[in-house]
């Protein structure tokens, strides 16, 4: 395994599938789907092998690969994973495979182009998590931008072009700021040592002035804050989620947002330790605002998908709170929240997609009583709703508990305010579950045994059937078929992982422990 370039194989397996699809211009839609499935499946299988061989007791990078690319400029092809990046690689390959399956029926036009774009996007995301050279990292970071914008802009909903352009401009602005930071860091290290390099691990050994750290930290931070996205850089996210196809929302929430959190851990903290400590209080304030703002906005949404999108803003606020609490519990919690959010929110978007395929609307008022004729859907939805609100025994609780514990240790007020969101999350998630799964469907006649009906008759008030008449263009929710086997196949592994981490998080915490300690040692100057 150590001799096998497994990280390159994981990263470029989807690209091989994309190239095959590009060259096979007359492939049938069925053949296209199967080639994409095989390419993403190979990448996922290799990532599982990598995770099984990963040694949590070994500090530093593992499965490293390196060869000179542009030696006169100090640019090399360097790959490696540690306890921070290895779980994110596994998450990316799993969600890519799920996205391929979830697109099987919904994507019916330009199928070949769609899967080429999705596989190219997968290669870009994987490259971000395994790159140890800043130039290579930036190449992969930019590769991600175009495919995601195309997925939103071509296969999205009515306002897809607006959402795609907004996503593109926000992300490009952050990328250009990061490029300025990379060039500045490259020049500063060369002036200090006479060595031209973009090796992340070597650059982290440099000594930089307070002023240089202050501004370069900010350049990297803004790029990653837009990607997370932190408040007030979040406004592109709800539009992108609402307009993206279901698989696009899965990838966007499950992986792309994690690229921002990963960037903080891999670059901001170890490269600019002094600036990290100076900026941390302000970032904690922004994180708490994001947590509360996202939850409050989710409370008032009428669009199911937009509600889940705003819940993502809130949950990712926990990630940045944990990271910039700058302690073991906070950083470990941030990693678990990122993984849990990848499982839970991706599943919620898949469930929204299930309803949209049947009703062609995401308005909550159009649904009701789905537990009667869609019991499997209601069971999955209830499970992931409870995971999202942080029920003990599920993954959401583990991550948020550790994050709040870390936040409370460093900033007591932040831990207290963050805890309020547990109540808000329960409020909006249980309310939407009640609205979609339990109350009467629009237009459904009242149950004669309904206490509300009896009270209405007693008071002489005409009862309302299911909250109003059904729109003539909206299918009756009582006629929706339950989850298909293919839809269940995308949801089941996410449910198992959510339960596993919730009940037994020790393997994940062991995997990330040494890497978290190394990051803290770089920031605080204390030995591991």
**pLDDT digit string, tens, across residues 154-204:** 988 888 898 889 888 888 888 899 999 999 999 988 888 888 888 888 888
Which secondary-structure segment (H or E) carries 64? Answer: strand 62-70
Contact criterion met (CB below 8 Å) for 512 and 335:
yes
Residue 49 pLDDT > 90: yes
For the cut 70, the answer to whether the pLDDT of residue 446 exceeds it is no
What pLDDT, on the 0 to 100 scale, is given for residue 368? 79
DSSP codes, 427-439: HHHHHHHIIIIIS
Task: Report pLDDT digits (tens) over 97-127.
Answer: 999 999 988 888 888 999 999 999 999 999 9
Q: Report how far apart, in Å, the C-alpha atoms of 199 and of each of 60, 136, 189, 376, 412 are.
A: 14, 10, 11, 49, 37
CA distance 389 to 398: 12
Question: Does the pLDDT of residue 30 top 70, yes or no?
Answer: yes
CA distance 263 to 137: 10
The average confidence (pLDDT) of the chain is 87
- Closest by CA position to 414, among listed 287, 328, 313, 261: 287
- pLDDT confidence of residue 24: 85
Per-residue model confidence (pLDDT) at position 343: 94
Helices and strands, number each (H, E), in the chain: 22, 2
DSSP H or E segment with residue 81: strand 75-81
Q: Which residues contact 302 (CB under 8 A, 6 or more apart)?
A: 363, 364, 365
Summarised one tens digit per residue, pLDDT across range 458-486 is 555 444 444 444 444 556 667 788 888 99
Whether residue 50 has pLDDT greater than 90? yes
The SS3 of residue 131 is strand
Q: Do 260 and 226 meet the contact criterion of CB atoms below 8 Å apart?
A: yes
How far apart are the C-alpha atoms of 504 and 485, rounded to whole Å? 28
Confidence of residue 338 (pLDDT cuts 50, 70, 90): very high
- Bridge partners, residue 76, by sequence: 68
Which tens digits make up the pLDDT trace of 293-303? 998 998 888 88
Instruction: Enter the tokens of residue 187.
Output: 């020049």
Cis amide prior to 295 (ω within 30 degrees): no
pLDDT value at 433 more than 60: yes
**pLDDT tens by residue, 217-231:** 999 999 999 988 888
Looking at 52-61, 231-240, 445-454, which range is the least confident one? 445-454
From residue 387, alpha-carbon distances to 290, 315, 394 in Å are: 20, 12, 5
Helices (H), 24-110: 29-53, 85-102
pLDDT-above-90 percentage for the chain: 45
How is residue 267 annotated by DSSP?
I
Mean pLDDT of the 389-403 span: 89
- H/E stretch holding 169 reads helix 160-193
What sections of 411-484 are H helices per DSSP? 412-433, 451-459
Query: Which pLDDT tens digit goes with each residue over 131-141?
Result: 999 999 999 99
For residue 8, the model assigns a pLDDT of 93
Alpha-carbon separation of residue 145 from 118, 234, 378, 486 (angstroms):
12, 16, 35, 29
pLDDT average, residue stretch 417-437: 86
**φ, ψ of residue 506 in degrees (nearest 5):** -55, -45
For residue 26, the model assigns a pLDDT of: 84
Nearest to 522 by CA among 514, 177, 283: 514
| Rounded CA separation 87/344 (Å) | 16
Judge contact between 525 and 137, C-beta under 8 A: no
Rounded mean pLDDT of 446-454? 51
What's the pLDDT score for residue 454? 53
> Are 104 and 157 within 8 A, CB to CB?
no
In 3D, which of 229, 340, 220 has the Cα closest to residue 269?
A: 220
Q: 332 near 509, Cβ under 8 Å?
A: yes
Q: Please provide the distance, in angstroms rounded to a whole number, between the alpha carbons at the two ends of the chain.
A: 28
pLDDT score of 38 more than 60: yes
């Amino acid at each position: 395994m150590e001799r096998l370039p497994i990280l390159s194989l994981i990263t470029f397996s989807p690209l091989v599938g994309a190239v095959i699809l590009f060259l096979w211009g007359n492939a049938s839609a069925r053949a296209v789907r199967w080639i994409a499935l095989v390419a993403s499946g190979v990448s996922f299988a290799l990532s599982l092998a990598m995770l099984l061989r990963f040694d949590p007791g070994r500090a530093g990078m593992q499965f490293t690969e390196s060869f000179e690319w542009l030696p006169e400029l100090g640019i090399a092809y360097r790959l490696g994973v540690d306890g921070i990046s290895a779980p994110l690689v596994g998450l990316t390959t799993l969600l890519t495979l799920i996205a391929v399956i979830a697109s099987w029926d919904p994507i019916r036009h330009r199928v070949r182009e769609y899967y080429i774009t999705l596989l190219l996007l997968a290669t870009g995301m994987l490259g971000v998590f395994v790159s140890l050279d800043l130039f290579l990292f930036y190449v992969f970071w930019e590769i991600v931008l175009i495919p995601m914008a195309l997925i939103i802009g071509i296969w999205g909903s009515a306002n897809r072009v607006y959402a795609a352009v907004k996503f593109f401009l926000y992300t490009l602005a952050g990328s250009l700021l990061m490029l300025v930071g990379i060039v500045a860091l490259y020049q500063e290290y060369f002036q200090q040592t006479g060595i031209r390099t973009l090796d992340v691990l070597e650059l982290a050994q440099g000594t930089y002035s307070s002023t240089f750290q202050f501004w370069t930290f900010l350049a990297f931070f803004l790029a990653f804050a837009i990607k997370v996205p932190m408040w007030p850089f979040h406004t592109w996210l709800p539009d992108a989620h609402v307009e993206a196809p279901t698989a696009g929302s899965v990838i966007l929430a499950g992986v792309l947002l994690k690229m921002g959190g990963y960037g903080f851990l891999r670059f901001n903290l170890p490269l600019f330790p002094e600036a990290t400590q100076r900026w941390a209080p302000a970032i904690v304030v922004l994180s708490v605002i994001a947590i509360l703002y996202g939850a409050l906005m989710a409370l008032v949404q009428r669009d199911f998908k937009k509600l889940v999108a705003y819940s993502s803003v809130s949950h990712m606020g926990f990630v940045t709170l944990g990271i910039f609490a700058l302690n073991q519990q906070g950083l470990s919690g941030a990693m678990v929240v990122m993984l849990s959010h990848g499982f839970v929110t991706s599943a919620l978007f898949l469930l929204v997609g299930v309803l949209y395929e049947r009703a062609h609307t995401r308005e909550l008022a159009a649904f009701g009583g789905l537990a009667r004729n869609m019991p499997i859907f209601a069971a999955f939805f209830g499970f992931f709703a409870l995971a999202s609100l942080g029920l003990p025994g599920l993954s959401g609780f583990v991550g948020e508990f550790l994050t709040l514990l870390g936040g409370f240790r460093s900033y007591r007020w932040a831990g207290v305010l963050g805890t309020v969101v547990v109540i808000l999350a329960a409020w909006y998630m249980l309310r939407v579950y009640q609205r979609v799964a339990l109350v009467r469907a629009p237009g459904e006649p009242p149950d004669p045994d309904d206490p509300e009906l009896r009270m209405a008759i007693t008071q002489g008030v005409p009862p309302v059937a299911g909250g109003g008449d059904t729109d003539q263009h909206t299918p009756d929710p009582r006629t929706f078929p339950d989850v298909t086997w293919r839809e269940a196949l995308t949801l089941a592994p996410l449910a198992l992982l959510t339960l596993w981490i919730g009940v037994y998080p020790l393997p994940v915490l062991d995997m990330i422990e040494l890497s978290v300690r190394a990051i803290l040692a770089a920031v605080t100057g204390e030995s591991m």
